[in-house]
Amino acid sequence: MSPAVEVAASARLLRKSQPELPALAVLDQSMRGHHGRRIDSGGLATPPSPFALVVAEAFDGGMHLCNLTGLLQCRSHPRIPGMLMEIWWNEV
């Protein structure tokens, strides 16, 4: 299993088993053993994937997760998802 898949799976399991745990703590625990090296997460860190939503909860205080997910699926204006992803990659 690749390090990215391992971290993402660990974060999702921990999020489900301990929903009261802050998202940043979930990420910290999921990253144990992987610190000090870059991990290419590919699409695992792109919303609305479950791992990306944990990352958003941990680092993006400006938007609620339901709003992020809803806007990414918005079909009323074709530029909204692209603009949101640009903000995501620049700020999160």
Cα distance between the two ends of the chain: 25
Q: What is the pTM of this model?
A: 0.68
d(CA 26, CA 34): 14
> What pLDDT, in 10s, does the model give residues 32-89?
877 666 777 777 877 778 888 888 888 766 666 666 666 666 666 777 777 777 877 7
* Structural domain for 7, as ranges: 3-91
Quote the number of domains for the chain.
Answer: 1
Task: Give the side-chain half-sphere CA count within 13 A for 23.
Answer: 14
Asked whether the beta carbons of 47 and 68 are under 8 A apart, the reply is yes
pLDDT in tens, 2-42: 888 888 999 999 999 999 999 899 999 998 877 666 777 77
